[in-house]
Structure formats: structure tokens, C-alpha cells
């Protein structure tokens, strides 16, 4: 969510030709690298993205390191890389800290949900599939719409933010930037599927983190700034001209900032829906191997904190320190609020202190942050269109090959749609701040009922369907009602103020929980979690009879009419003591196998066997407990123990500021080790196998006469 002003032409910092060259060149480079990587995986590591299981959930074999870097990369948006600095410039150093805490607890929550999904719905591909399996068609469609809305608004706002920045620094045609950003991503995502995004995510993370550390340190060590002490001195010397209303003594150097805390809270709700309501974050957890989900997600959660905190603090305060000096690109003209809202603080600081090469590097960072978000969105929407819509409602008998083809087409359709939607928003004069405040109200209502689907056996179908709708109405009423109550009228300006948006988001998030509990008292029922396993068996028969029942089952007649030639999921067995299941850690889908099935409805729940061995299940339960402990720890520390004691009449002393920012910078390095260095170590055997294969093939080829 950004406070973005569109159509703000800044000082041209980079020639248009260079900007076009960079955007197209980086797109082509990434396509080439990823297509080569996909080929190597296919030939030397037996990983073929032409199967739907590989395309959508990377065969459920992704390790901790790659998971951490992929989750980190999909979650590292332009918001925290560029706008944390702009918001720190506006409200002071409380913002980057709140921003960090507004990013990490959601990812830690997904660690717990992801591992629980592995336990209860081991073959799931998307979060929506879980909703359908438990509640049928109507609930599924409600959640498809909520997911698509979340994804489309999130992705379009990122593309618009990126296009605005590119336009702002280079003057490149806005529409051209909007088209070029998703173009390269389409190709590698369509060809490589989820595993390709895991790999590009790694490259994005590597380059972006190097640049983030480079910018932070180059700015700090610049002679004009003079290190942490110099930065502190400059900010205190210019305190009178940088008075921030709502902050303690108007200081940039205090945690007691009303606007920062409101901003931080809205961010928490908006970001929670961007994670839980985005099937991409579920898919990535389905793609992980059993022991990788929790450590992978928790590493990413910790690493992401380092992005807004260190970078935002250093760049935002530096902007304040030098914006009235001759080195500032717009000097002596005033640096306007519109320019700040367009995200131009960071490129201007870079131009002033690092120069043209810095701006090229900034452009590369923009590209990395943008394309990783866009590719993740593409996989998510493509999985919804191909798996949740096409396979479920249009062609249940679709072969695996056809499903992958539809996934490819869906990526292209989504790219065209999102580009057109972004351009329409721009030319329609969209107010991105307003959209940023509306989105949590629209998408938060789905969160609790979705979590209940996996965690609470007593939530009924009616509760799942009605509570998000009622929650949205409640949130909307609170948002508009508060705007009216506080400011006397409802218009764009009053609904764009922080407090109404915050109260609206709170209403949207919490009220569905209450509605769900209340509605579930009407015709109460209790869901047996083993039903998920039985339904998954039913799902491999191309039927959709589950759509009209709270506790879906397949009738004998239904079953008798179905083809017996279908995908079957091997490890589920009606023979409880099957040896085969004892060692299986990763469910395997066997393609198009002729195998007579017993009607799933005819199998007693007591005979349904979990595909994981007892030991693996025990391990998963242990991870589940660890995930909740980690989540509670992260919430307590980053919401309460750390920031709250500082919310008082206190302006940072020089020593405290230096220590604070030093820890923030150390955190960047920790992030680098967690999501860049560790994945290399973690994936060393695959890297060696791939490299050996390429080396051997090259040698054979070269030695041919």
C-alpha cells in the first residue's frame, strides 16, 4: 500500500533511451537465464515444468533455502524498497521500524498455516482448492473473487507504482513502462512455472539485496553525510525546517509519531490480506518439502524486516538533511509533496550523493522488486484460472498436458489484463492512496473464515459464505461512517485520511470472525479433517458433486459413471498397513494411470490413510508447534516489547540513533546470509549435479570430431 501520486514528472535523472534499454535488456537477460535454468533442470535434475504438479507446486520438493529466498523475493515489493524512504521522509524514523513489523508477522503466520495445510490437505495446489473441498461451489466462487480482487489490485498497484517511478526519473512514456514491466516476466513464468519463479526469485533477491546494502552504505559513508553521527547532526541541525506535526516536538527522531503508528497499523492489515488472500503464498508452502516450510518462511519473515528498516531510515533522513541544499536535483525549486508521494525521495538522494551510476543501479533495483512481485502474481492467477476454474468447472477431465497449456495461456491472459487494467487506472485518474485504503476493506474479510476453513471444524458453509460478505459491509460502513463522523462529509479526501481507513480495516478483518462463530451456531456441524483426504481421493475422479454439500461425498451412482482412467494419488490407500506409505515424505501424483478405484465415498473414514508416514506426521506436528511459537514471539517483540516502550516523550540521542541504525544495517547483512548465501549451501548438491551435467555435456560436445 503506497501513498502514491501518479503522473508526477520529476527531474529527469536518466535519459529515456537508457531507461528503455535497461527495461528491455533486463527483461531479455532474465528470460534467457531462466529458460536455460529450466532446460538444465529438465535434462540434469529430472524436473520437468511440463507437468502440472511441477508447474504449480514444483513437485513439493523445494528446500529451506530456496523457499526463504522465493518468499522473501515475492514479498519484497517496491513499497518497502522505495516508499519506506519516502514515508520516513514524511513522518520520521518510526515509519521504517513499523514498516518492518508490518511485513514479517504475516509471513510467519503463513509458516503455521502452510504446515497445517500439509497435514490436513496434503495434495492441495491452491488455497481455494481447500475451500472448495470443504464447502463446495458457492464458497469456492466467493473466494475466487476475493483472491482475484486482492491479486489484481495488489499487482496493478505495483505496476503503476513502478511505472510512475520510471516515468518520474526518466520521462519514459507511462503506458510504455506499464507494458514493458510485465512483458519479460510473462515469458519466463509461462515457460518455467512455479519453479522458474523460485529461481528468478533467487536472482532477484541476490541482486536486490546487494543493491540495498550498497545504497545504504554509499549514502551513509558519503562525505556530505559523514556517517551515522554526521547524519544525526544534520537532521538535528535542520530540525526547525523539518517540523513534523503529530510527532513528539515535531521531531523526525522519535518513535512517538501518531501518523507513523496509524500508517504502520493500516499496513499490517493490508499486508495480512496480501499474504493470506494471495494463493501464491500458499502455493509456495505446498511446494516446499516437509522440513522446509517453517524454517523457510520464518527465515524470510526475519529477513524482510531488514529492508524497510535500514534502507528507509538512512535514505529518508538523508533526504531531509539535504533537500534544501544545491546538490538536491530539484534545488532551488521546492521539493513538493506530490514528488514525495511519487516515491522520488530515494532516486533524488541517490542522484545527489552517488550520481548517474547510482541511478542506473536504482533502475535495476526497481526492475528486481517489480518483476518478482509480478511473476508471483502471474503464477497465482494462472493457478486460479487453470486449476480452480478450468479444471473444476469447465473441463474436469483435462489431461495434465492440457492443464499445463491452460496455465500458460492463463499467464498470458493475466498479463494482458493486468497491463490493460493498470493503464485504465492511470488514464482514469486513479488515486492510488484511496485504492490502497480501499483494498484492505475489500480483502480483509476473507482472512479469518479462510483460516477457520483449515483450523476450526465447526465453521459451516453458510458461515464461510456470508461472513466475508457481511464483514465487507461492516468494514465499509465503519470506514465511511468514521470519515463522516470525524470530518463531517464523505468524499475522496475524508476517506483518504488515516483513522477512517484504519477503523474500516479493523472492522473488515475482525467482524467476519464474529459473524462466522455466530452463523455457525445455526445448524451446527463438525467437520472430520480426514474428510479432506477422502475428498482428495474423490477429486482425482473428475467430478464436482462436492459443490453442493457442506460435507461433500460422492454417490455410488456418480462414481459408477466416471471414467477409471485418471490421475491417481498413490500414497492414499485403503490398506492401512501398506508398507509403501511408511517412508513417503512427499505425496506423488501418478499421471493418467489405469487403476480401478473404490468409490471414495465407500471408504470408511477409519480406513483412510494419511499419505505421510507416522514419523513424518509427527515431524509436521512438531513444526506446527514451532511455527506458532515463532509467530507469537515475533508479534510480541515487534508489536509490543520493542516499539511500545519507545512510544513516549523521547527524541533519540546520538548514541541511541547510531546503535539503532547500526543494528538495522547489520540486519541487512543477516538477511543477505539468510536468503542469498544459505540457499546456495542448502542447494549445493543440486547445484553440483546441474553444473556437472552441463560440464560433462559441454566436454562431450567439444570433443566430438
The contact set with ligand URE (CB under 6 A) reads 75, 77, 79-80, 103, 271, 274
Q: Pick between residue 54 and residue 262 the one whose CB is nearest to ligand URE.
A: 262
Q: Pick between residue 77 and residue 503 the one whose CB is nearest to ligand URE.
A: 77
- How far, in Å, CA of 55 to CA of 41, rounded? 13
Cell matching residue 428: 482514469
Question: Using the 8-state DSSP alphabet, how is residue 5 labeled?
Answer: P
- How far, in Å, CA of 126 to CA of 116, rounded? 14
Q: Pick between residue 80 and residue 544 the one whose CB is nearest to ligand URE.
A: 80
For residue 75, the minimal CB distance to ligand URE (Å) is: 5
- How far, in Å, CA of 192 to CA of 187, rounded? 8
For residue 149, the minimal CB distance to ligand URE (Å) is: 15
Radius of gyration of the chain (CA): 26
- The Cβ of residue 585 has, within 10 Å, a number of other Cβ atoms equal to 16
Q: Pick between residue 62 and residue 274 the one whose CB is nearest to ligand URE.
A: 274
For residue 162, the minimal CB distance to ligand URE (Å) is: 13
Q: Pick between residue 201 and residue 536 the one whose CB is nearest to ligand URE.
A: 201
Q: Pick between residue 270 and residue 296 the one whose CB is nearest to ligand URE.
A: 270
For residue 172, the minimal CB distance to ligand URE (Å) is: 24
CB 69 within 8 A of CB 675: yes
Q: Pick between residue 315 and residue 353 the one whose CB is nearest to ligand URE.
A: 315
- How far, in Å, CA of 131 to CA of 145, rounded? 13
Residues 6+ apart with CB under 8 A from 96: 84, 87, 88, 308, 309, 310, 311, 312, 313, 316, 664
Cell matching residue 489: 462529509
- How far, in Å, CA of 444 to CA of 606, rounded? 37
Q: Pick between residue 372 and residue 600 the one whose CB is nearest to ligand URE.
A: 372
For residue 323, the minimal CB distance to ligand URE (Å) is: 25
Q: Pick between residue 281 and residue 657 the one whose CB is nearest to ligand URE.
A: 281
CB 112 within 8 A of CB 624: yes
- How far, in Å, CA of 545 to CA of 538, rounded? 9
For residue 106, the minimal CB distance to ligand URE (Å) is: 9
Residues 6+ apart with CB under 8 A from 321: 225, 231, 234, 235, 238
Paired with 590 in beta bridges are 568
First to last CA, the chain: 60
Residue, CB closest to ligand URE: 79
For residue 107, the minimal CB distance to ligand URE (Å) is: 9
Question: Using the 8-state DSSP alphabet, how is residue 459 labeled?
Answer: -
Q: Pick between residue 297 and residue 612 the one whose CB is nearest to ligand URE.
A: 297
DSSP 485-501: HHHSS-SHHHHTSHHHH
For residue 117, the minimal CB distance to ligand URE (Å) is: 22
329-335: which pairs have CB atoms within 8 A and are 24 or more residues apart? 329/10, 329/11, 329/13, 330/10, 330/11
For residue 257, the minimal CB distance to ligand URE (Å) is: 20
Amino acid at each position: 500500500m503506497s501513498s502514491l501520486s501518479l503522473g508526477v514528472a520529476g527531474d529527469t535523472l536518466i535519459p529515456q533511451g537508457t531507461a528503455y534499454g535497461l527495461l528491455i535488456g533486463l527483461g531479455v537477460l532474465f528470460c534467457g537465464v531462466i529458460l536455460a535454468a529450466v532446460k538444465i533442470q529438465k535434462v540434469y535434475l529430472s524436473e520437468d515444468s511440463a507437468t502440472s504438479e511441477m508447474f504449480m507446486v514444483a513437485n513439493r520438493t523445494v528446500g529451506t533455502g530456496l523457499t526463504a529466498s522465493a518468499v522473501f523475493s515475492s514479498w519484497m515489493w517496491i513499497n518497502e524498497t522505495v516508499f519506506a524512504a519516502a514515508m520516513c521522509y514524511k513522518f520520521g524514523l518510526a515509519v521504517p521500524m513499523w514498516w518492518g513489523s508490518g511485513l514479517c508477522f504475516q509471513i510467519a503466520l503463513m509458516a503455521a498455516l502452510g504446515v497445517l495445510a500439509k497435514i490436513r490437505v496434503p495434495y492441495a495446489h491452491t488455497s481455494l482448492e481447500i475451500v472448495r473441498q470443504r464447502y463446495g461451489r458457492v464458497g469456492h466462487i466467493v473466494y475466487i473473487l476475493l483472491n482475484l480482487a486482492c491479486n489484481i489490485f495488489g499487482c496493478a498497484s505495483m505496476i503503476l507504482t513502478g511505472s510512475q517511478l520510471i516515468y518520474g526519473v526518466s520521462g519514459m512514456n507511462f503506458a510504455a513502462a506499464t507494458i514493458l514491466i510485465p512483458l519479460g516476466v510473462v515469458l519466463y513464468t509461462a515457460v518455467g512455472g512455479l519453479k522458474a519463479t523460485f529461481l528468478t526469485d533467487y536472482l532477484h533477491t541476490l541482486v536486490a539485496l546487494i543493491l540495498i546494502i550498497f545504497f545504504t552504505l554509499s549514502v551513509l559513508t558519503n562525505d556530505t553525510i559523514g556517517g551515522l553521527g554526521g547524519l544525526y547532526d544534520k537532521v538535528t541541525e535542520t530540525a526547525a525546517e523539518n517540523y513534523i506535526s503529530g510527532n513528539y516536538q515535531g521531531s523526525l527522531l522519535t518513535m512517538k509519531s501518531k501518523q507513523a503508528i496509524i500508517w504502520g497499523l493500516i499496513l499490517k492489515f493490508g499486508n495480512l490480506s496480501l499474504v493470506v488472500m494471495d494463493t501464491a503464498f500458499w502455493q509456495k508452502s505446498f511446494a516446499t518439502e516437509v522440513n522446509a516450510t517453517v524454517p523457510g518462511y520464518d527465515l524470510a519473515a526475519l529477513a524482510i524486516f531488514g529492508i524497510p528498516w535500514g534502507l528507509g531510515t538512512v535514505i529518508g533522513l538523508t533526504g531531509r538533511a539535504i533537500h534544501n541544499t544545491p546538490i538536491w536535483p530539484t534545488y532551488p525549486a521546492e521539493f513538493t509533496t506530490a514528488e514525495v508521494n511519487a516515491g522520488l525521495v530515494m532516486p533524488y538522494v541517490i542522484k545527489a550523493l552517488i550520481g548517474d551510476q547510482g541511478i542506473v543501479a536504482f533502475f535495476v533495483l526497481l526492475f528486481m522488486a517489480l518483476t518478482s512481485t509480478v511473476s508471483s502474481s502471474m503464477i497465482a492467477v494462472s493457478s486460479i484460472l487453470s486449476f480452480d476454474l478450468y479444471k473444476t468447472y469447465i473441463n474436469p477431465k483435462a489431461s495434465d498436458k492440457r492443464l499445463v497449456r491452460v496455465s500458460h495461456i492463463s499467464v498470458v491472459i493475466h498479463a494482458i489484463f493486468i497491463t490493460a487494467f493498470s493503464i485504465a487506472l492511470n488514464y482514469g485518474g486513479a488515486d492510488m492512496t484511496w485504492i490502497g485504503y480501499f483494498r484492505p476493506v475489500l480483502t480483509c474479510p476473507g482472512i479469518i473464515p479462510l483460516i477457520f476453513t483449515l483450523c476450526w471444524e465447526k465453521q459451516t458453509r453458510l458461515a464461510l459464505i456470508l461472513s466475508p460478505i457481511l464483514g465487507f459491509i461492516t468494514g465499509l460502513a465503519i470506514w465511511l461512517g468514521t470519515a463522516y463522523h470525524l470530518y463531517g462529509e464523505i468524499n475522496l479526501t475524508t476517506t483518504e485520511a488515516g483513522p477512517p481507513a484504519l477503523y474500516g480495516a479493523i472492522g473488515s478483518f475482525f467482524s467476519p470472525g464474529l459473524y462466522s462463530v455466530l452463523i455457525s451456531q445455526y445448524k451446527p456441524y463438525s467437520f472430520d479433517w480426514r474428510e479432506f483426504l477422502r475428498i482428495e481421493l474423490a477429486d482425482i475422479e473428475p467430478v464436482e458433486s462436492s459443490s453442493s454439500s457442506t460435507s461433500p461425498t460422492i454417490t455410488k451412482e456418480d462414481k459408477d459413471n466416471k471414467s477409471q482412467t485418471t490421475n491417481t494419488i498413490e500414497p492414499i490407500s485403503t490398506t492401512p498397513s501398506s508398507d509403501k506409505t511408511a517412508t513417503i515424505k512427499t505425496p506423488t501424483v501418478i499421471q493418467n494411470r489405469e487403476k480401478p478405484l473404490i468409490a471414495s465415498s465407500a471408504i470408511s473414514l477409519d480406513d483412510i490413510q494419511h499419505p505421510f508416514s507416522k514419523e513424518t506426521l509427527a515431524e509436521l506436528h512438531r513444526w506446527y508447534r514451532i511455527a506458532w511459537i515463532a509467530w507469537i514471539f515475533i508479534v510480541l517483540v515487534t508489536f509490543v516489547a520493542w516499539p511500545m516502550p519507545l512510544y513516549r516523550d523521547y527524541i533519540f540521542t546520538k548514541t541511541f540513533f547510531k546503535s539503532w541504525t547500526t543494528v538495522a544495517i547489520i540486519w541487512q547483512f543477516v538477511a543477505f546470509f539468510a536468503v542469498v548465501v544459505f540457499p546456495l549451501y542448502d542447494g549445493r548438491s543440486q547445484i553440483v549435479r546441474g553444473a556437472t551435467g552441463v560440464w560433462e555435456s559441454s566436454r562431450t560436445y567439444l570433443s566430438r570430431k
